[in-house]
């Protein structure tokens, strides 16, 4: 079984190198000819992220995923999600705003949490009419992230979940600290009246 996984991981690795080459060539062409091909680059990065997420989901569903927890500057993480998504959302006329009031470092799996938030922002962007907001704050002794939009909201916040949401839920619950676990919450309403995705980490 593990041999099979090694084969898959190595294939993903090679593919990502190819995708990186494509992105670098596009970036260079943009700079040289004054073009904006950011949507093409976004598509490439999204493809790479999907590959990684597929492997992550596989591990999570087999219950053999382990986190790589490092101290992360929460504001930097939010900046990165905004950098990844803002331009793409702007192309569809959606504005991404963010508000991070956490100044501290937090122990979390940077890459997995970034992916979960990117996915949440992408989902929100698909359903939003004009606005998506990413917020991060401290509450009690936990770290909270919220992604909300002004779309129609979840059809059933307690209903069936997409792969992305299953990944998000598992990733949250794997974050454990002094006996407390992280969690994911879905709701409708919020300040924008649409879907509200929330991640709480201990």
* Token pair of 105 as six digits: 């470092």
SS3 track for 57-108: HHHHHCCCCCCCCEEEEHHHHHHHHHHHHHHHHHHCCCEEEEEECCCCEEEE
Contact 202, 142 (CB under 8 A): yes
SS3 track for 181-196: ECEEEEEECCCCCCEE
81 vs 147, which CB is nearer to other proteins?
A: 81
Q: Please tell me whether residue 107 binds other proteins under the rule CB under 8 A.
A: yes
For residue 195, how many other CB atoms are within 10 A of its CB?
26
- Out of 60, 109, 123, 200, name the contact with other proteins by CB under 8 A: 109
- Out of 8, 30, 142, 161, name the contact with other proteins by CB under 8 A: 30
Q: Please tell me whether residue 44 binds other proteins under the rule CB under 8 A.
A: yes
17 vs 162, which CB is nearer to other proteins?
A: 17
Query: Could you tell me the CA-to-CA distances from 27 to 18, 118, 182 in Å, in that order?
Result: 14, 21, 38
- Out of 56, 85, 118, 122, name the contact with other proteins by CB under 8 A: 56
53 vs 131, which CB is nearer to other proteins?
A: 53
Q: Please tell me whether residue 142 binds other proteins under the rule CB under 8 A.
A: no
Q: Which residues bind other proteins (CB under 8 A)?
A: 9, 12-13, 16-25, 27-28, 30-31, 41, 44-45, 48, 52, 55-56, 66-71, 73, 75-76, 79-80, 83-84, 103-105, 107, 109-111, 177
């Amino acid at each position: 079984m593990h041999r099979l996984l090694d084969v898959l991981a190595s294939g993903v690795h090679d593919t990502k190198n190819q995708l990186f080459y494509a992105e670098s060539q596009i970036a260079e062409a943009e700079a040289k000819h004054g073009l904006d091909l950011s949507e093409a680059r976004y598509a490439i990065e999204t493809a790479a992220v999907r590959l990684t997420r597929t492997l992550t989901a596989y591990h999570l569903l087999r219950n053999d995923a382990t986190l790589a927890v490092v101290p992360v500057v929460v504001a930097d993480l939010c900046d990165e999600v905004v950098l990844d998504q803002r331009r793409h959302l702007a192309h569809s006329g959606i504005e991404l705003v963010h508000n991070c009031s956490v100044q501290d470092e937090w122990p979390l799996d940077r890459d997995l949490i970034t992916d979960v938030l990117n996915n949440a922002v992408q989902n929100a962007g698909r359903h939003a009419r004009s606005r998506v907001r990413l917020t991060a704050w401290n509450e009690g002794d936990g770290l909270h992230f919220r992604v909300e939009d002004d779309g129609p909201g979840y059809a059933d916040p307690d209903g069936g979940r997409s792969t992305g949401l299953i990944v998000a839920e598992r990733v949250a619950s794997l974050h454990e600290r002094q006996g407390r676990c992280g969690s994911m919450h879905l709701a409708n309403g919020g300040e924008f009246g649409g879907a509200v995705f929330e991640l709480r980490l201990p």
